[in-house]
Copies of this chain bind each other. A is one copy, B any other.
Amino acid sequence: VSARRAAPPPSSGRGGTGARSSSGRAHAARIHAVVLAGGAGTRFWPLSRRARPKPLLRIDGGETLLGATLARARRVAGEERVWLVCGAEHARAMRRAAELPAERFLVEPRMRNTAAAVGLAAHRIMRSDPEAVLAVLPADHRVPDAGAFASALRRAARAASREPWLLTLGVRPTRPETGYGWIRLGAPLPGHAGLQRVARFVEKPPLDRARRYLRSGRYLWNAGIFVWAARTFLEELEAHAPAVARPLRPLATASRRGLARAVARAYARVPALPVDRAVLERSRRVGCLPVEFHWSDVGTWASLAEELGVGRGTSRVVGGEALLREADGNLVYADGRPVVLVGVEGLAVVDAGDALLVVDLKRSGEVREVVEALARRGRDDLL
């Protein structure tokens, strides 16, 4: 079976039945965790930088987001089948942070968004494990209940190994969040208890619509955590995003030694598209596993503050010393030098050593524009 063949019709059965029967264990396809560590996370400036992207932040002073993601990945996939995709500019820092053998780092010569990243991983993993089921995990999310997370992924993987479904995790919403993508649930998937079709994806709805979604009970947050067979993904990529699939095809036959050069060639041509838009919103093989555990994409200082329990009457200090006098609901990142707050509320105060941010948590989405302003001023030293 080669990724170069024409895509099967969307409603067709699974392509690789031969390989499955040869293994003799139809329901035991192995899960490979693909950790996507490509994002820049400019919204966490000044903690996040080009040289210290969001996955490497110790958001609660302990483990990095990447470290926690890798721990979840190992739990799901086992030590031997954890992969990490990252950009060349972060490769060194990622190698230092993640204890993985060199061959399981898949380095992108440039950022080409998630469709290419997952395509790269699918090709590489299929070379050694044609029946592989991928669990695609962004490196910068927060999921405190690693046990529930692993159970959900295993359940999705069982379905994805039996039938060619592209599965996404749907999180039960707790607020009318306008910063997330939402999923409208469709009919149950016959034969896969708990899984449902996806009737529709909705990108970042306005508040009134998000409120309706929340009330209706028929919408979930799209966590951006995916489970699918590598083969299924590549088939669907060919069918729905040939512009992405085509430059990646040579990866299917590249030798291990020739891989880097093949990737360089592919990435010179592959367009940058998110996997959602390239495949999920077009494919008819898309399903959703609703989950109940707590999940956050930790997108802004405000959402991070919420993750850390900051709220009315509660402040949180990470990484150093602070003295708070009548200063509630603040998130403080200290860095050696003590931080003193007096009479202020609802702020993020972030000392990054070489730069300092004070932002109203309600306005923390605007930090991204500050980074753009610094870039326009040529302050590369601060990016």
Q: Which residues of A contact B (CB under 8 A)?
A: 46, 323, 325-326, 337-344, 347, 349, 351, 353-360, 362-364, 366-367, 369-370, 373-374, 379, 382
A344 touches B358 (CB 8 A): yes
Q: What's the minimum C-beta distance from A299 to chain B, rounded to whole angstroms?
A: 16
B337 touches A356 (CB 8 A): yes
Contact residue among B340, B353, B366 (Cβ-Cβ distance under 8 Å from A370): B340
Q: What does DSSP make chain A's interface, helix, strand, loop or mixed? A: mixed
Task: Please measure, in the bound complex, the distance between the C-alpha atom of A373 and the C-alpha atom of B353, giving whole angstroms.
Answer: 25
B341 touches A358 (CB 8 A): yes
Knowing A337-B354, A337-B355, A355-B338 are in contact, say whether A344-B360 is a contact too (CB < 8 A): yes
Chain B's closest residue to A366 (CB) is: B342
Contact residue among B341, B360, B367 (Cβ-Cβ distance under 8 Å from A359): B341
Q: What's the minimum C-beta distance from A130 to chain B, rounded to whole angstroms?
A: 50
B369 touches A325 (CB 8 A): yes
Residues of chain B lying within 8 A (CB to CB) of residue A325: 366, 369-370, 373
Chain B's closest residue to A357 (CB) is: B340
Residues of chain B lying within 8 A (CB to CB) of residue A367: 342
Knowing A356-B337, A356-B351, A356-B356 are in contact, say whether A343-B369 is a contact too (CB < 8 A): no
Residues of chain B lying within 8 A (CB to CB) of residue A364: 342
B323 touches A343 (CB 8 A): no
Task: Please measure, in the bound complex, the distance between the C-alpha atom of A344 and the C-alpha atom of B344, giving whole angstroms.
Answer: 10
A356 touches B382 (CB 8 A): no
Q: What's the minimum C-beta distance from A106 to chain B, rounded to whole angstroms?
A: 35
Task: Please measure, in the bound complex, the distance between the C-alpha atom of A369 and the C-alpha atom of B46, giving whole angstroms.
Answer: 30
B356 touches A343 (CB 8 A): no
B338 touches A382 (CB 8 A): yes
Residues of chain B lying within 8 A (CB to CB) of residue A46: 340
Q: What's the minimum C-beta distance from A49 to chain B, rounded to whole angstroms?
A: 13
Q: What's the minimum C-beta distance from A210 to chain B, rounded to whole angstroms?
A: 22
Residues of chain B lying within 8 A (CB to CB) of residue A356: 337-340, 349, 351, 356
Residues of chain B lying within 8 A (CB to CB) of residue A349: 356, 358
A323 touches B373 (CB 8 A): yes
Knowing A342-B358, A347-B358 are in contact, say whether A323-B363 is a contact too (CB < 8 A): no
B338 touches A359 (CB 8 A): no
Task: Please measure, in the bound complex, the distance between the C-alpha atom of A347 and the C-alpha atom of B357, giving whole angstroms.
Answer: 13
Q: What's the minimum C-beta distance from A301 to chain B, rounded to whole angstroms?
A: 9
Residues of chain B lying within 8 A (CB to CB) of residue A343: 359-360, 362-363, 366
A359 touches B342 (CB 8 A): yes
Chain B's closest residue to A350 (CB) is: B340
Chain B's closest residue to A332 (CB) is: B358
Residues of chain B lying within 8 A (CB to CB) of residue A363: 326, 342-343
Residues of chain B lying within 8 A (CB to CB) of residue A358: 339-342, 344, 347, 349, 358
3 closest Cβ contacts across the A-B interface? Answer: A343-B363, A343-B360, A342-B359
Contact residue among B339, B354, B357 (Cβ-Cβ distance under 8 Å from A342): B357
Task: Please measure, in the bound complex, the distance between the C-alpha atom of A351 and the C-alpha atom of B355, giving whole angstroms.
Answer: 10
Residues of chain B lying within 8 A (CB to CB) of residue A370: 323, 325, 340, 342
Task: Please measure, in the bound complex, the distance between the C-alpha atom of A323 and the C-alpha atom of B383, giving whole angstroms.
Answer: 14
Chain B's closest residue to A352 (CB) is: B337
Residues of chain B lying within 8 A (CB to CB) of residue A359: 340-344
Task: Please measure, in the bound complex, the distance between the C-alpha atom of A59 and the C-alpha atom of B343, giving whole angstroms.
Answer: 22
Task: Please measure, in the bound complex, the distance between the C-alpha atom of A370 and the C-alpha atom of B327, giving whole angstroms.
Answer: 12
Contact residue among B344, B353, B362 (Cβ-Cβ distance under 8 Å from A347): B344
Residues of chain B lying within 8 A (CB to CB) of residue A339: 355-358
